Structure 1
Amino acid sequence: MNRIGRRWAAAFGLALMTAACGSGDTTGKGEQVSPIQRAPTPKSEFTAEEIEATLDALVTEINEGAIEPMQMAILLKEIGGFFTPITTGANRAMGELGVTGNVVGHSGQGRNQQERAEAQGEQIGQAVADGAAGIGVSPFGDAIAAGIDEAVAGGVPVVTLDTDAKDSKRSIYVGTISESAGDTAGKTLLALLRPAPGTVVIHGADDPSWVDGMTRMLGARRVLEDAGYTVVVRPITWSPGGEVADVEAMAAQIETADPPVMGLLGLHNVSYRCAMAAEAAGATELPVVAFDFEPKTVEYMRQGLIKATHTQRQYYAGYLVPYILYGIKIIGPDATKAILAPRMVDESRLNVGLDVVPWDKVDEYDTFLDSISVTQ
């Protein structure tokens, strides 16, 4: 850990000690005496200043209320991988708040999406039975709605993160807004392209059953088509052998497209395949823009073959949820949503936004992640 990271860790440790003392120092009514204190986030060009300001405003309002102990549960699809930064953020926020509870992965039950969603619904029910007064959950699918609704009917608010259950009675969704993410990615590539006409290859989703993937692709496609480019979509091949199939298909598009290909845009974690396709076609001069911060993506960025990538701020999604649940308990849902308004895209969805990382800022982004003890 670098010196900035060590200073942050020391501040975080102090905040944890303060929160722990506060939760034990109570009045006769069981109210927490010490105010909530957030550990300061290190300053960087990648610090999400708007989210930081919104959180500070929420904490200020919470501290005006009757601060109380709280038990909560954060239920994720898994603890590692993509969810590692979410886990880090959620645990950090719960420590600062001095609440009790756990961040846990799925139960391991179920072989498909439907069965896992049903098992996750049972996890929600168990969390309520164990005394949780607020629940954060990353849903496997719509089958979880019944479990969410039952918890809400029993007076336990639920906040979704990363993926949504929009037809349930959850209070707020926290995460990436797919259309906005696609729009941002499209504009990042657009700034690197030669003037139209020309073809752009999007490596993404074209299956309407995958709503988030499809919406992200349509957001990017709209930006590029509005600028006069012809867009062709190469659907991601997730099955074994998918990398070879995708690279060969996109290389063929580069070699044969009319009008000629001007650039490539990947919208998911395997978007480094776009750079592989450009290499295979002998067209490494084409601008390639990616999504997520996979090791292969970083490798191609360091070579200058991927010009920028977009990361989804998983850490902030995990960090926000406990604060939102605590805000709902102390100042109520309406007051909490009013404070969150600068980051809300509608009455129930909060956009954590994206970090746009240029190819020549990889080291700076790594330093930022290190400073908040996050593995992306």
Structure 2
Amino acid sequence: MTTIGRCWMMAFGLTLMTAACGSSDAPDIPVGENPTFIKRRPTPVTEFTPVKLEATVDDLIAELNEHTNKPMHAEIVLKVVTGFFAPVATAANRAMGELGMTGNVVGSLEEPGDQQEAVDLQNKQIEQTVAGGAEAIGLAPFGDGNGPAIDAAVAKGIHVVTLDADVEASKRSMYVGTLSGAAGKTAGETLLPILRPPPGTVIIHGNVNPVWATGLERTQGAQDVFEKAGYKTVVSQITLTEEGDGDDATSMKTLIETEDPPVVGMIGMFNESYRCAMAVEDAGRTDIPIVAFDFDPKTVNYMRKGLINATHTQRQYYEGYLVPYILYGIENIGLDETKKILAPLMADELRVDTGIDVVTVDKLDAYNDFLYALGVSQ
């Protein structure tokens, strides 16, 4: 077994995988106390602290501390350990340290290129994790292509919890992360009050491709809000390539100039939301209100320029922090008991909703301070 905090590097083909290193947060247990006693790192209390989520984690720890828990080896397998997933890696490492787990937080250093190659690579990683003696796996999957590898691990008695994205058809124990439909609805409800009354068109920078189910759900969640309020909606399909900045901005500029009734608002559903602001600049229509998704630096810059009114951030830190605790709970007090304690966060029998944060322009600095206090950036 490897110990938490060790850098683990391996290569499959040309893709380099690495652990997120450094777990200095393991608690110091006084001599004579229960060696499995769990002591959390204190969480900063701010207006952005998710109170219900924090209380639920404390309840889980209280129950676990009633038991003498056995040591555990787990692996957290991410798509990447940089960018969007950097807070996930930091938090997972922190939680594993608090729990005294052995294992690694593993992911690529670079965004994957070919999707199928990325899926195949991650499946090999899962297989190697199983062969290495892991008792549980936290997985940020690429999609349904990871299903057979998940099921093979489960068949060997290994619990798998997915995060960030789900593989619903698999035998995974639980999903932890943002619920796309609800997140889209929340984002729509942020924009709705600042729109002028209908008639009018709302441009949604989103996804209409059913292959990307969660992207479609988030887009439709927002779409329903506007259409029920009497607005026409037009979805401008996101381009998930480096060329997307120019392509998407041009497409949305054309919609701004041609739609009837006129465009009265725009909403971005993904990390590339800043392209909405690029479009209004190009069209000379910086009066159009925009709300965004995620906390990309370009989005933040456009917020500071006054072109984006608010953004909606996923709680990546808490996704990464929760998963080791859930795996530890399943191993030591059982799946059903763990689910009972997690009930305040569960949308249904299998999904834990970490929620989203609504960050308005006037709260940017406060939100950055909260992330800094957690020791992460998004």
TM-score of the superposed pair, with normalisation by structure 1: 0.90
Which residue is equivalent to 2:243? 241
Q: How many residues align?
A: 356
Query: 278, 291, 294: which is aligned to 1:292?
Result: 294
Residue deviations 1:82-124 (CA, integer Å, cap 9, x gap): 110000110010011111111011599x963333323322322
Which residue is equivalent to 2:14? none
Q: CA deviation at 1:242?
A: 2.5
**Does the CA contact (< 8 Å) of 2:207 and 2:238 recur in 1?**
yes
**Structure 2: which amino acid aligns with 1:172?**
M
Query: 59, 62, 65: which is aligned to 1:63?
Result: 65
**Structure 2: which amino acid aligns with 1:16?**
A
Query: 7, 10, 18: which is aligned to 2:28?
Result: 18
Look up the SS of the partner of 2:79 in the other structure: coil
**Does the CA contact (< 8 Å) of 2:82 and 2:109 recur in 1?**
no
Q: CA deviation at 1:197?
A: 1.6
Residue deviations 1:276-331 (CA, integer Å, cap 9, x gap): 11122222121100011111111111112100001111110000000000000111
**CA distance, structure 1, for counterparts of residue 244 and residue 108 of structure 2:** 27
**Which protein is richer in strand relative to its size?**
2
Which residue is equivalent to 2:268? 266
Q: CA deviation at 1:239?
A: 3.8
Which residue is equivalent to 1:184? 186
**CA distance, structure 2, for counterparts of residue 88 and residue 315 of structure 1:** 7
**Structure 1: which amino acid aligns with 2:28?**
T
Q: CA deviation at 1:140?
A: 1.8
Residue deviations 1:48-75 (CA, integer Å, cap 9, x gap): 1111011011111111122221111001
> Larger deviation: 189-198 or 69-78?
189-198
Residue deviations 1:26-61 (CA, integer Å, cap 9, x gap): 9xxxxx634111111001111111110110111111
- Give yes or no for the alignment of 1:316 onto 2:318: yes
Q: CA deviation at 1:81?
A: 1.1
**Structure 2: which amino acid aligns with 1:359?**
V
Look up the SS of the partner of 1:328 in the other structure: helix
Q: CA deviation at 1:132?
A: 1.3
Query: 93, 98, 102: which is aligned to 1:100?
Result: 102
- Give yes or no for the alignment of 1:194 onto 2:204: no
Which residue is equivalent to 2:54? 52
**CA distance, structure 2, for counterparts of residue 107 and residue 80 of structure 1:** 6
Which residue is equivalent to 1:9? none
**CA distance, structure 2, for counterparts of residue 252 and residue 153 of structure 1:** 52
Look up the SS of the partner of 2:43 in the other structure: coil
**Structure 2: which amino acid aligns with 1:200?**
V
Q: CA deviation at 1:270?
A: 1.0
**Which protein is richer in helix relative to its size?**
1
**Structure 1: which amino acid aligns with 2:26?**
L
**CA distance, structure 2, for counterparts of residue 132 and residue 249 of structure 1:** 47
- Give yes or no for the alignment of 1:123 onto 2:133: no
**Structure 2: which amino acid aligns with 1:120?**
Q
Which residue is equivalent to 2:163? 161
Matches within 5 A, 1:217-232: 217-232=219-234
Query: 155, 173, 195: which is aligned to 2:175?
Result: 173
**Structure 2: which amino acid aligns with 1:242?**
G
TM-score of the superposed pair, with normalisation by structure 2: 0.89
Gaps of at least 5 residues in structure 1 are: 1-11, 27-31
RMSD of aligned residue pairs (Cα, Å): 2.1
Q: CA deviation at 1:338?
A: 1.1
**CA distance, structure 1, for counterparts of residue 122 and residue 296 of structure 2:** 28
Q: CA deviation at 1:332?
A: 0.2
**Structure 2: which amino acid aligns with 1:83?**
F
**CA distance, structure 2, for counterparts of residue 107 and residue 365 of structure 1:** 26
Look up the SS of the partner of 1:146 in the other structure: helix
Gaps of at least 5 residues in structure 2 are: 1-22
Which residue is equivalent to 2:13? none
**Structure 1: which amino acid aligns with 2:121?**
A
**Does the CA contact (< 8 Å) of 1:114 and 1:140 recur in 2?**
no
Which residue is equivalent to 2:349? 347
